[in-house]
Chains A and B, each alone.
Chain A
Amino acid sequence: MGAEFVQLSLTPLLIGILAAIACALPGNFLILRRQALVGDAISHVALPGIVVAFLITGTVSTWPMLLGAAGAAVVAVVLIEGIKRIARIEPGAAMGVVFTSLFAAGVLLLEQSDTSGVHLDVEHALYGNLESLVWFSAEGWNSLVDPVALADLPPELVRMASVAFVISLLLAIFWRPLKLSTFDEGFANVIGIPTRVFSFGLVICAAVAAVAAFDAVGSIIVIAMFICPPATARLMTNRLEIQVLWSVLFAVLSAVLGYVLAGYGPMWLGGENAVSAAGMIATISGVILGIACLIAPHRKRVGTPKGL
């Protein structure tokens, strides 16, 4: 664990961990609100948004990408609502139709446009470029205190860290009203909590996490991290406060295990090439959920309400 680790593995690992945390935190609430698909939808519709932003600006710099993804998210929400109301289709189906169509449209657009000069393609969209986010100027652990080397950290790391920090902060500040309006929206309204602001704010947080993570790690991790760590955490405890902590732990565990296994697993098995870290992280999170389903303490739901 020396200079090579710091240069090649430290930053991708950190970005993977931060992306996992940033998605898992809002994921806890999305699942409890029966909106788990929202995260899925957002990460899919980000692709056409990013492609359109690239076609307009001709660059893959951060802000046009984020704005494009945000714009696509708005279009998707409008379409989903419209389909629900006009065609009277069940919300889950409306969401499924909109995000797969938009994602497919994004793939077509991407094929037709000349993106050969930039790092933008379908594979990138699906599983990102985590392994390539290395810290070139790092020469060892000392670089962590070297301002020159620090200035050269991959911008994805800084962006992901800020997003994870802001989401954690917002969650800590608005914990009470968010929990209350997730549990009982009607009551929350009556005691003066602006429940619409919170449900909208939660989706915005999820969207920001998804878009920030999308560029670095691709949509596979995003989708997995919104759902797997919180769902696993729910099986570990019956208290939301503790569930959120477990979900962070499972997110970190998936990111670390997935990254290491992707890098070294094939070698241990006698293979030659490393596999996609993003794919492995998502797979591991699913495996952890599977194990928890079998052995976690609260896997038997105590609470099917009687008399319903």
Chain B
Amino acid sequence: MNRVAFKVERDQGATAAFVAPGESPLSINELTVSYGEKPAVFAVDATVPPQSMTAIVGPNGAGKSTLLKAALGIVPRLSGQVRVYGKPLAQVMNRIAYVPQRASVDWDFPTRVIDVVLMGLYRELGLLRFLRSPHKEKALACLNRVGMADFAYRQIGQLSGGQQQRVFLARALAQSADLYLLDEPFAGVDAATEKAIIDVLKALKAEHKTLVCVHHDLSTVTQYFDRVLLINTRKIAEGPVATTFTEENLQKTYGGRLATAHIEQLKLPAA
């Protein structure tokens, strides 16, 4: 009975253009996070529609990564609620894939590329289930999708930054999730990797997945994403790139620090 209701909700979510918070893959309500005296994220609301690709954009220290981590429960939130597909986080963790910042782990860790991707299958493997060939095949298929199958048995420290980022994406693919949350997936990667990653992300969107990326490169926002969430501790604006990624909103987000010449290069949508 529950399963049926669940299925229906998913299908509706996949087709509706505008959604109530209950059907949204990720809805955030009045989220506040504080590390010290000053809040890092203050009372941010956001509703991500299904099958969308959202960029979280803002200056350094604006709380972009913190917002993502708080939404996932990795950092504690001071107040506010997070719903994923209308449910509390703990019930729907299996529908979320997460790509942390590449620099957040020690790449000298003694493990191989394929072992990292297999971590994405932890929910299937559990504590003691034996690793069998279907698991390995799945991990290799995920690596193949990001063009890294040849590196499966290398130590992770032997990879370049871009290759490491692709391995993280492969691990997220192995999670077989519906909602993908990525923290700066294009940070410090080479052009070939950026292309490989955006191709995979767009393919995921075409497969009815929902994606949310913390993104720092203003020049690619219009090209890569269909929605944008502008934050600087507080939410500045949220919506389709065409109507939200405007000079006015950007100047508000960056406190008027963006040079006019820089903004002209962004190929902003006509206001």
Residue A191 contacts which of B102, B107, B115, B123 (CB distance < 8 angstroms)? B123
- Expressed in whole angstroms, the Cα–Cα distance for A182 and B119 within the complex equals 12
Q: Does B112 contact A (CB under 8 A)?
A: yes
- How far is it, in angstroms, between the C-alpha of A234 and the C-alpha of B156 when the chains are bound? 14
Starting from the known contacts A190-B93, A192-B123, A303-B157, 14 additional A-B residue pairs (CB-CB under 8 Å) come to: A180-B122, A183-B105, A184-B105, A189-B74, A190-B98, A238-B110, A238-B112, A302-B158, A303-B155, A303-B158, A304-B108, A305-B103, A305-B161, A305-B164
Check if A119 is an interface residue, CB within 8 A of chain B: no
Which of A173, A234, A237, A305 interacts with B127 by CB under 8 Å? A173
Residues of A with C-beta under 8 A to B72: 186, 189-190
Assess whether A239 is in contact with B111, with CB atoms less than 8 Å apart: yes
Please give the residue numbers on chain B whose beta carbons come within 8 Å of chain A beta carbons, in ascending order.
69, 72-74, 93-94, 96, 98, 100, 102-112, 115-116, 119-120, 122-123, 125-128, 155-158, 160-161, 164, 171, 175, 188-189
Closest to A238 in B: B155
| Residue from B69, B100, B103, B156 within 8 A of A303 (CB atoms) | B156
Tell me whether A176 and B188 are in contact (CB under 8 A): no
A239, B158: Cα distance in complex, Å? 13
Given A177-B122, A184-B104, residue A302 in contact with residue B157 (CB < 8 A): yes
The size bracket of the interface on A is 20 to 34
A301 with B111, Cβ < 8 A, contacts A184-B100, A189-B73, A307-B161 known: no
Those 3 A-B pairs whose CB atoms lie nearest each other, nearest first: A303-B157, A307-B161, A238-B155
B69 near A183: Cβ-Cβ < 8 Å: no
- Asked whether, in the complex, the Cβ of B128 is within 8 Å of the Cβ of A183, the reply is no
List the interface of chain A (C-beta within 8 A of B).
32, 173-174, 176-177, 179-180, 182-187, 189-193, 234, 237-240, 243, 301-308
Give every chain B residue within 8 A of A173 (Cβ-Cβ).
127-128
Contact A177 B157 (CB under 8 A): no
15 CB-based A-B contacts, threshold 8 Å: A32-B106, A174-B127, A184-B100, A186-B98, A187-B98, A191-B119, A237-B110, A238-B110, A238-B155, A239-B115, A239-B155, A301-B108, A303-B158, A305-B157, A308-B161
Contact yes or no, B103 A239, CB < 8 A: no
Knowing A32-B106, A184-B119, A186-B69 are in contact, say whether A240-B93 is a contact too (CB < 8 A). Answer: no
CA distance A59 to B109 in the complex (A): 45
Known: A240-B110, A243-B110. A302 touches B155 (CB 8 A): yes
| CA gap between A32 and B111 in the complex, in Å | 12
The smallest beta-carbon distance between B157 and chain A, in angstroms, is: 2
Closest B residue to A193 using CB positions: B122
CA distance A75 to B93 in the complex (A): 36
Residue of B nearest to A305 (CB): B107
List chain B residues, Cβ under 8 A from A177: 122, 127
> A238–B116 Cα gap in the complex (Å)?
13
Q: Give min CB distance, B236 to chain A, whole Å.
A: 26
